[in-house]
Chain A
Amino acid sequence: MTTASHDGAPGPTPSQTVGPFFGYALPYETGPRVVPGWRPDAIDVRGRVLDGAGEPVPDALLEIWQADESGRIPRRPGGIVRDGHDFSGFGRCGTDADGAFWFTTVKPGAVGDGAPCIAVLVFARGLLKPVFTRLYFPEDETAHAADPLLGAVPAERRATLIAAREGERRYRFDIRLQGDRETVFLGF
């Protein structure tokens, strides 16, 4: 798809890296807390972002976007100023010195034919454009077999899209940008 900008050149505005200095501007205190921890159906997702040498990426920014617990797509604001009950579906978390991030959210309901999943974007210094992936849940094996995206992923790489269960309502989802067990990234 092409379009004309003011100089007549076709096409969209190119991406550039988020750089190392977004930390005082983009993250905000309630960013990782998509729902309050006291909600009985709240889940915790934790993970790390690792580079091609297996080293932590301490200057990555993660964003998640998801349907609510019944599979409805949120259409209301509240991703920045959370009021405690409305669900905006959006979360943002910068990684710490260990490359670690966390979110408190709810498990989304299934949307259409797909298995329940959360859309995940990662920005970082050294990423000239974001990487896009999905987080699936380990208990949904049957639904995974019929999921259109998982079906398009080579079997040996599929596990990189499925979070590990770490306890009651707790999951781990590590993101490997490159190399051994590189996370599957999506081309859209």
Chain B
Amino acid sequence: MTHPPYLSPGYKSTVLRAPAQELVMPKLGPDSVELASPVFGHQELGRLDEDLTVQHPGEPLGERIVVTGRVLDGQGRPVRGTLVEVWQANAAGRYAHLGDIHPAPLDPNFTGAGRCLTDDDGRYRFVTIKPGAYPWRNHHNAWRPAHIHFSVFGTAFTQRLITQMYFPGDPLFAYDPIFQSIPDERAREKLICRFDMDTTEPEWALGYQWDIVLGDTPMEA
């Protein structure tokens, strides 16, 4: 089982939000609209959307990183021209969101939102700052491992995926009910990017590789 179940009581917000009834699976499967995907174009994206470190007058604080990888389908083929959106906390673990009350500093030079379209190899690439871990109120002393939120479209609306990318060796993995909501350990590891010296840029930024594989649908068990 790849995807987490809806109900995962360790993650408290699932208790009142997880559907309790069985999902309905029509005999004929998705219709032709659901098997198609919205199309997005380069003209809809901003020039600075791929580099989260240049969206303000000054440079953001923190460790500059390059995060890149390919969006692939279940057969390993590249998914071209698909919209990839990311958002994340700053280096101190604070989101530029009004609802984030973590008493860590905001960075006036970092918003933490980006987007791009994959190229002909299905590749995306972002320059950003390594996000900090942050506390949340799920349970006593609850901390989220550092992560970047990813949103990907794919070639069918049924493939639509929103997930989180984590960094290698994070000591918080064992304590995080969101990461641990994925029952299978090997499936969990798919969310951890890989440090890559070839992606690392001398005198500039560490590089990480992370591929995203789109199955038929995340709604499956």
Residues in B neighbouring A37, C-beta threshold 8 A: none
Residues in B neighbouring A148, C-beta threshold 8 A: 26-28
Q: Is the interface of B mostly helix, strand, loop or mixed?
A: loop
The B-contacting residues of A in range 68-89, CB under 8 angstroms, are 73-81, 88-89
Residues in B neighbouring A23, C-beta threshold 8 A: 97-99
A57 adjacent to chain B (CB < 8 Å): yes
A5 adjacent to chain B (CB < 8 Å): yes
Residues in A neighbouring B189, C-beta threshold 8 A: 7, 9
Q: Give the CA-CA distance A21 to B86 in the complex, in Å.
A: 12
A3-B76, A21-B100 given; A13·B213 CB < 8 A: yes
Establish whether residues A89 and B38, one from each chain, have CB atoms under 8 Å apart when the complex forms. Answer: yes
Q: Pick from A51, A63, A129 the residue with the most CB of B within 10 Å.
A: A129
Establish whether residues B19 and A128, one from each chain, have CB atoms under 8 Å apart when the complex forms. Answer: no
Q: How many residue pairs bridge A and B at CB < 8 Å? A: 264
* Selected contact of A11 from candidates B2, B22, B43, B98, CB within 8 Å: B2
Residues in A neighbouring B190, C-beta threshold 8 A: 5, 7, 9, 11, 13-14
In addition to A112-B31, A187-B220, 15 A-B residue pairs with Cβ atoms within 8 Å of each other are: A1-B216, A2-B74, A5-B211, A16-B149, A16-B181, A17-B13, A17-B164, A52-B15, A73-B36, A77-B40, A111-B33, A112-B32, A119-B33, A178-B18, A182-B20
B interface, CB within 8 angstroms of A: 2-6, 8, 11-34, 36-41, 43-45, 72, 74-76, 85-87, 89, 95-100, 111-113, 149, 151, 157-158, 160-164, 178-179, 181-182, 186-191, 194, 209, 211-220
A interface, CB within 8 angstroms of B: 1-7, 9, 11-26, 51-53, 55, 57, 59, 63, 65-67, 73-81, 88-90, 108, 111-112, 114, 117, 119, 121, 123-132, 148-149, 151-153, 157, 177-179, 182-188
Task: Name the 5 nearest CB pairs between A and B, nearest first.
Answer: A126-B13, A12-B215, A77-B41, A25-B87, A187-B23
